Structure 1
């Protein structure tokens, strides 16, 4: 079994002591790999809450902390491999020869363009350029890349091709270079608890629609509010519950929440409820009281590439979902009968679809069963972690990076200006000779 150093870019717990959203994937992956017998050390930033070790001990993994201003090499010195999010790419230089798995499941460099667009100035342009630089560096140096679905795989394969990672040494083993490892659902079933609004702020039989997300620029909560106003004309008892609309961990993105809440108050819209994020272990109570959830974003690049954790969690909760089409998870959930795709992106179409689902209890029950079946089957960590477990059992450098792991530097050899056609040919010949010839010879000798 392998000794795995698994890095989280964010603290495991947020300031309130709850499992933080960006840390859910590394936290759950650490537990899944530990369950398969690997020695996992989950590493979070040193600024993390003091309560985190207790949570980690319960996860069955060892917890460590890396410091933003210090080397990461001590954490990988005795490891067989390192698993890192792309955000930590700036610290790759001191990892040494350890094979590295780069998790690219969240193409946040796309969503950040939407977040920054209203105020995209020179400072934001510099910030975005840094993200692209770090991404390119990660793609050059990773031995295995993880993505969330087929669309992301093609997206990253195009980048890898441009950076020369699709080459004679990797072309026949692309699955050794990039694997699909989506977000997975947690084990077990959501625990019930005191309701947030059912029987408290509305009747016990009121239809409840859920939005469980922040109000971010790449999403569309306004269409949900517009559709709800139309839905209330048909189902006057209907309620709309926003959970986590005001994200305390992202104060720079609260503008959408403030605008939405102001509209609700200014127009005196009834049946709207705002609640903060619930503790991770208690969030199941929400799913027990709602009838349907909405997770929508307009048709754009971020929507095509996304694989939303909130939708996976809703499936775990057995909640029927209305989703956007044009992305892997939305189409998958619709095929399995757990979700309905909003084909026409307007408030009237959404209101009609919500009314159809809310008016048919048998349909909702069938969607709920399909959602739970996905969470317990193809979206379970037991299934999802398979490709990572496979690499952990045989952690090897990517074929075209073998020279790096043997301590052979090609940088000085390849510093040839691309000034003309002849220079390009010479560089290609030298690169192929050094990588295929010298590195190949050393590998063959090393293997005996």
Structure 2
């Protein structure tokens, strides 16, 4: 039996988003394999039943974290944990780094609406955090073959692709494995009515498109809203529902208000386009998905798209939904190749409206898509996608170049500024005062105090 500590920076509780859901299912899989597991969040922990230990340790609680680090054999983490807890840079424990989210690429889009200096700071910080992890970790998990090739380039630049790591593992599968986001093996059940015949404006016999997950700046909900408004001119039963706009761990982005405003401008708000102003409980999302007729996901064309892994697509597979998505990412390739729905060019409202019409009203095409979805989704059950992690933990070992990575960690020592505490707060306050002004700085301080 291996003692495993899993760390996520997302809130754990009834309402969870992608990183927390992924960590939760890692904990489940490892516990079911006979390991002793503790799942730790650095932000917020709410009461929820779990067949493993749950704990909250916030950045700066170094004594509490030191006890967990001493207890475990393997640490699995994602996000900023290595930057937040200095001991992870020099630990003798085996470290597994989950890099399914290329957060430096994500920040290129997410930071667009920030002041230029803040945007550059966010991208630089995310890059430094990932470089540090890639330089020091023992085993890495990404979400797709595209990501694997991308990260190999970054790791090569950091010296991790060396004779030492290559000699007995020429494909480097023991260093970096593809561990996609997964879905539950038990099909979703419809336990209560949520939208059709319940939400004013959505009738029991309407054709419902669902946008799973949040609304973020790297997506393109506005082209979708235009397409739905256009489709509604001839198909008054076509309805679109955004499942969540208030992420439990991320501040609401400007694109949410822009989407509301556009739907209002087009006369589509609460007639053909609907928004959930909160976040659906993780266990309750099945009731929404099982009322849907199609899943949708639209995004812009940029580098973040190329290497992204849209986890909401897994919920569409789970619910057996035909899909319409923007072309350009790895899931779009899968949808095209396996006949799971349709892909459309970025920002083409006419093509999108035509595709939506087909997945909602072409019965023969819908039946074909559903047969294909039922076949393909088996490849994404958590039990299958998490197999590389479960196998690694069954026989955990340091990377072949561990001696060298240990020297790097010791050399870093305390040189990296801590992302918490009074000095960090003062440093960031000064940054925002210089680049965004007094009002914006005060607003940020008030928002933080309310969390």
Does the pair score TM above 0.5? yes
Q: Which of 68, 71, 95 is residue 78 of structure 1 equivalent to? A: 71
State the alpha-carbon separation in 2 of the partners of residues 105 and 62 from structure 1: 24
- Residue matched to 1:182: 180
SS class of match (1:55): coil
Residues 16 and 248 of structure 2 are in contact (CA less than 8 Å); yes or no, is this contact kept in structure 1? no
Residues 294 and 323 of structure 1 are in contact (CA less than 8 Å); yes or no, is this contact kept in structure 2? yes
Aligned pair count reads 400
Q: What CA deviation, in whole Å up to 9, does each residue of 1:44-102 have, x standing for no partner?
A: 22x52341xx422xxx1122332310333321213221101132121464142111000
State the alpha-carbon separation in 2 of the partners of residues 319 and 211 from structure 1: 12
1:260 maps onto 2:259 in alignment: yes
- Residue matched to 1:218: 218
- Residue matched to 1:198: 196
Distance 1:204-1:123 versus aligned 2 partners, 3 A rule:
closer
Q: What CA deviation, in whole Å up to 9, does each residue of 1:94-149 have, x standing for no partner?
A: 14211100000011221222121132332342233222111111011011110000
State the alpha-carbon separation in 1 of the partners of residues 404 and 219 from structure 2: 44
1:65 maps onto 2:44 in alignment: no
SS class of match (2:203): coil
- Residue matched to 1:55: 49
Q: Could you tell me how far 1:401 is from its partner in structure 2?
A: 1.5
Unaligned runs of 5+ in 1: 413-448
State the alpha-carbon separation in 2 of the partners of residues 408 and 260 from structure 1: 46
- Residue matched to 1:428: none
- Residue matched to 1:374: 376
State the alpha-carbon separation in 2 of the partners of residues 344 and 263 from structure 1: 18
State the alpha-carbon separation in 2 of the partners of residues 227 and 182 from structure 1: 31
Unaligned runs of 5+ in 2: 413-451
State the alpha-carbon separation in 1 of the partners of residues 246 and 54 from structure 2: 30
State the alpha-carbon separation in 1 of the partners of residues 122 and 188 from structure 2: 39
Residues 317 and 372 of structure 1 are in contact (CA less than 8 Å); yes or no, is this contact kept in structure 2? no
Q: Which of 30, 37, 43 is residue 34 of structure 2 equivalent to? A: 37
Q: What CA deviation, in whole Å up to 9, does each residue of 1:349-394 have, x standing for no partner?
A: 111111122222232233234324333x210111111111121122
Residues 212 and 315 of structure 2 are in contact (CA less than 8 Å); yes or no, is this contact kept in structure 1? no
Residues 33 and 385 of structure 1 are in contact (CA less than 8 Å); yes or no, is this contact kept in structure 2? no
State the alpha-carbon separation in 2 of the partners of residues 128 and 147 from structure 1: 20
State the alpha-carbon separation in 2 of the partners of residues 49 and 101 from structure 1: 23
Q: What CA deviation, in whole Å up to 9, does each residue of 1:286-320 have, x standing for no partner?
A: 12222112111122111111111111111111111
Distance 1:219-1:88 versus aligned 2 partners, 3 A rule:
same
Residues 89 and 135 of structure 1 are in contact (CA less than 8 Å); yes or no, is this contact kept in structure 2? no
State the alpha-carbon separation in 1 of the partners of residues 196 and 231 from structure 2: 18
Distance 1:24-1:410 versus aligned 2 partners, 3 A rule:
closer
Q: Which of 98, 102, 105 is residue 107 of structure 1 equivalent to? A: 102
- Residue matched to 2:427: none
Structure possessing the higher radius of gyration over alpha carbons: 1
State the alpha-carbon separation in 2 of the partners of residues 344 and 26 from structure 1: 31
| Greater relative contact order, per chain length (Cα 8 Å cut-off, separation 6+) | 2
Q: Which of 100, 113, 116 is residue 111 of structure 2 equivalent to? A: 116
Q: Could you tell me how far 1:221 is from its partner in structure 2?
A: 0.7
Q: Could you tell me how far 1:252 is from its partner in structure 2?
A: 4.2
State the alpha-carbon separation in 1 of the partners of residues 124 and 405 from structure 2: 26
What RMSD, in angstroms, separates the aligned Cα atoms of the two structures?
2.3
Distance 1:247-1:404 versus aligned 2 partners, 3 A rule:
closer
Q: What CA deviation, in whole Å up to 9, does each residue of 1:5-46 have, x standing for no partner?
A: 111112212xxx42344310000110011111222111122x
Residues 5 and 38 of structure 2 are in contact (CA less than 8 Å); yes or no, is this contact kept in structure 1? yes
State the alpha-carbon separation in 2 of the partners of residues 410 and 358 from structure 1: 58
Residues 212 and 245 of structure 1 are in contact (CA less than 8 Å); yes or no, is this contact kept in structure 2? no
Distance 1:246-1:66 versus aligned 2 partners, 3 A rule:
closer
State the alpha-carbon separation in 2 of the partners of residues 169 and 18 from structure 1: 43
State the alpha-carbon separation in 2 of the partners of residues 332 and 112 from structure 1: 25
Give the TM-score normalised by structure 2.
Answer: 0.83
**Mapping of 1:260-279 within 5 angstroms?**
260-269=259-268, 270-275=271-276, 276-279=278-281
Residues 107 and 126 of structure 2 are in contact (CA less than 8 Å); yes or no, is this contact kept in structure 1? no
Residues 101 and 145 of structure 1 are in contact (CA less than 8 Å); yes or no, is this contact kept in structure 2? yes
SS class of match (1:197): coil
Q: Could you tell me how far 1:258 is from its partner in structure 2?
A: 1.1
SS class of match (2:49): helix
Distance 1:284-1:408 versus aligned 2 partners, 3 A rule:
closer
**Mapping of 1:108-257 within 5 angstroms?**
108-172=103-167, 173=169, 174-200=172-198, 201-247=201-247, 249-253=249-253, 255-257=254-256
Q: Which of 359, 362, 369 is residue 361 of structure 2 equivalent to? A: 359
State the alpha-carbon separation in 2 of the partners of residues 388 and 166 from structure 1: 21
